[in-house]
Amino acid sequence: PYFNLGILRKKEGASDAAFTLFQRLAELAPEDAIAHYQLGTLHRQAGRTAEAIRAFERAAQLDDSLAAPRFQLFNLYRQAGRATDAKQML
């Protein structure tokens, strides 16, 4: 229920509520790559770049077949001037 409700809250623009739900999901299922990815998107939207990077890194670490967290990391690393790290996401 946390995932679906989190997505719904995110679509409604209730970012704080969505963040709380995805944070709880990540606590209950720490190996859920999508929960960490969703946390990363919410951190990024809120301008919390360091937290977004950590969440996307965790998502990519948990499931390296997911392209979305790697794409986000590529962009964030590039913006942070971390060209070497960005190239590793390609």
Structural contact between residues 25 and 6, judged by C-beta atoms closer than 8 angstroms = yes
pTM above 0.75, yes or no: yes
For tokens 């913006």, what's the residue? 79
- Cβ atoms of 10 and 17 within 8 Å: the answer is no
Structure confidence at residue 2 (pLDDT): 92
Q: Both tokens of residue 54?
A: 């950590």
The mean per-residue pLDDT over the stretch 66-84 comes to 96
Indicate the DSSP class of residue 14.
Answer: -
**pLDDT at res. 72:** 97
> For residues 90 and 20, which has the higher predicted lDDT (pLDDT)?
20
pLDDT tens digit sequence for 24-67? 999 999 999 999 999 999 999 999 999 999 999 999 999 999 99
- What's 29's DSSP letter? -
Q: What pLDDT score does 47 carry?
A: 95
